Amino acid sequence: MKKIYQFTLKLFLIFSLFFTVSAFGAMVKDVRIAQENGLTRLIFDLSSPVSHRLFPLSNPDRVVLDIQDVELAAKLQTKLSSISSGVLRKLRAGKRDDGTRFVLDLNQKVKAKSSVLEANAKYGPRVMVELSYGKKVNLSVPVKTTKNIANVKRDIVIVVDAGHGGKDPGALGQYKVREKDIVLSIAKELARKLNRVDGFKAVMTRSSDVYLKLRERSKIAREANADLLVSIHADAFTNPKARGASVWALSLSGKTSEMGRWLAQQEQSAELVGGISLDDKDQLLAEVLLDMSMNSKIQFSLDIGSKVLTQMDKVAHMHKNTVQQAGFVVLKSPDIPSILVETGFVSNSTEAKNLGSAGYRKKLAAAMSKGIVQAFTSNPPEGSLLSWQQHNKGRVSSYVVSKGDTLSEIARKNRVSITALRKANTLKNDVIWIGQKLVIPAG
């Protein structure tokens, strides 16, 4: 009798385990977000196909996504709170008898729609939720996963590319001026200037005399999640009278040839257009999506280039008074706005002498930096410190002091100055205590 009881108990435990595991046969493995100007996409990566429904709620504004017969992967439990954008205030999830409910808490009303993306060579099945809120859509923003998603107040990343280098000296000019040396000096100064501006971070493709292939430079920018790639060069011409600096963006013909290249290498095209992989799309749809992305990127590049040109015109003689366009390889990243700056003609004696001057190079770098900062200040990427400052101008938040906190560290974490923090809390010194509630002024 005892053996029968033990056998029955084992069967019961086996069947209980089976039904526990298979009750929710699918899993939400990851949640990715693409933040754009006027459009936010959330992509829910699944282990197998499932059903879902999407509906809005008001007072307060939010969108609910019910995914049937799924549970969250363990790694997602604590990571959902880090996912946000300008319109998405918070993402939260809760278990239900029939699956998992996601609630998207919003900062304003949106038009929400969902769609199912079938599995492909890189991803499994996915549910995509699009939140549209009326501004012009910019399809050049790369996806951020929960592993690397930038929280609000992130730095705007500018990749500064000094052309040529190493075995490739570039143009050789009068007074023994070499392009690779001139542009590296300007690039270093530009990076230094940008890093001194709160909310900006410069990344250099090369900081020494090394050789990089053109495609490697774009790859560095992509890996850095760059908001802009600036490639710096100097010109040369057979006629020594040729002179003037210029600013360039990608041409439509360059765009067309690059589209063909990316569409032919579909394994490289995943996540180029706001988190939508192109490798599972038919040729026409893939072309349309990539064309929209590159058009948007070119337009933003022209806008930035125009502001850079305006500032450079105050320092240098300009070869052309508008941004020029050509099919430079370094400008061809479909997902990164890019400009190329020709700083002058080293074949011209006056400009070779100017470019050989450290003071003149610093003035050029300062002009480029000012133009870049102006461009992003007028159109800051969502999730950036500049965007946060504009949305929270005049607002204040609070912070409760915990063990180990110092006033300087609290100021650093919240991107405010110690002086502003003292003033907002009428502090005469830097002494604080555990449990004290501090007012955090807008950055």
Output the average pLDDT for the chain: 81
Burial 45-84 (b: 16+ CB within 10 A, else e): bbeeebebebeeeeeebbbebbbebbbbeeebeebbeebb
C-alpha gyration radius of the chain: 27
Q: Between 382 and 104, where is the model more confident?
A: 104
Q: Which fold has domain 25-132?
A: Immunoglobulin-like (2.60.40)
CATH code of domain 156-378: 3.40.630.40
The tens digit of pLDDT for each residue in 3-17 reads 544 544 454 444 444
What pLDDT is recorded for position 435?
A: 84
Average pLDDT over residues 419-438: 86
Q: Between 80 and 363, where is the model more confident?
A: 363
Token code pair at residue 277: 């992989």
% of the chain beyond a pLDDT of 70: 78
What pLDDT is recorded for position 150?
A: 37
Which of 8-12, 22-26, 214-218, 387-391 is predicted with the least confidence, judged by mean pLDDT? 8-12
What pLDDT is recorded for position 395?
A: 64
What's the rounded Cα separation, in Å, for the pair 427 and 442? 17
CA 293 to each of CA 145, 254, 273: distance values in angstroms, whole numbers, following the listed order: 20, 14, 6
Average pLDDT over residues 205-210: 94
Q: Specify the pTM.
A: 0.57
Sheet of 126-132, strand order:
70-72, 26-35, 39-46, 126-132, 111-117
- Domain layout of the chain by residue ranges: 25-132, 156-378, 392-441
The tens digit of pLDDT for each residue in 265-312 reads 544 444 444 444 555 555 555 665 666 667 778 889 999 999 999 999
Query: Which of 326, 423, 316 is closest to 360 using CA atoms?
Result: 316
The tens digit of pLDDT for each residue in 71-125 reads 998 888 777 877 877 788 889 998 888 899 999 999 888 999 998 888 876 778 9
Which of 183-192, 255-264, 300-309 is predicted with the least confidence, judged by mean pLDDT? 255-264
pLDDT at 32 over 50: yes
Q: Between 266 and 313, where is the model more confident?
A: 313
Residue type, 98: D
The tens digit of pLDDT for each residue in 132-141 reads 886 543 333 4
Three-class DSSP labels, the chain:
CHHHHHHHHHHHHHHHHHHHHHHCCEEEEEEEEEECCCEEEEEEEECCCCCEEEEEECCCCEEEEEEECEEECHHHCCCHHHCCCCCEEEEEEEEECCEEEEEEEECCCCEEEEEEECCCCCCCCEEEEEEECCCCCCCCCCCECCCCCCCCCECEEEEEEECCECCECCCECHHHCEHHHHHHHHHHHHHHHHHCCCCEEEEECCCCCCCCCHHHHHHHHHHCCCCEEEEEEEECCCCCCCCCEEEEEECHHHHHHHHHHHHHCHHHCCCCECCECCCCCCHHHHHHHHHHHHHHHHHHHHHHHHHHHHHHCCCCCECCCCCEEECCHHHCCCCCCEEEEEEEECCCHHHHHHHCCHHHHHHHHHHHHHHHHHHHHHCCCCCEHHHHHHHCCCCEEEEECCCCCCHHHHHHHCCCCHHHHHHHCCCCCCCCCCCCEEEEECC
% of the chain beyond a pLDDT of 90: 38
CATH architecture of 392-441: Roll (3.10)
What pLDDT is recorded for position 41?
A: 86
